Structure 1
Amino acid sequence: MMNYSGACAQCGRSLPARSGPGRPRRYCGRRCSSAAERERMARRLLLGALVEQRTLNEEDGNG
């Protein structure tokens, strides 16, 4: 999700003012950036486990 509205994509707080060129901020700080990364990793792991379970069920003829 690309969020350039001026609010942190994790907690919703307003973002600090930009101090030069570059990519727009998505998170208000390191804590929110890290929390978002952990959530993305958890989603990837869960999706991988679901795909693996479905594959095993299909191989067993239960799918």
Structure 2
Amino acid sequence: MQATLHDKPVNATHWSTCTLPEHLGVDAITIRGVRQGNGPKPDLSRTFKLSREPRFEHKLLDVVGL
């Protein structure tokens, strides 16, 4: 799990179900089971959405200005 979330394979953006077992020296079925059970998605990033409230900018400047 640690390698899936924090390490990056050489010449790739994220671990695949084929490359991670080779790297860790375990069976591919084991990796599939762990991934399905925990649901990590390291290739997806979380986004931040700004509020649509009319006074949001004013409130943001008050907080950031502290």
Fold equivalence (TM over 0.5): no
Per chain length, whose mean CA-contact separation is higher, i.e. which structure has more relative contact order (CA < 8 Å, sep 6+)?
2
Q: What TM-score, normalized to structure 2?
A: 0.31
Q: What TM-score, normalized to structure 1?
A: 0.32
Largest Rg, 1 or 2? 2
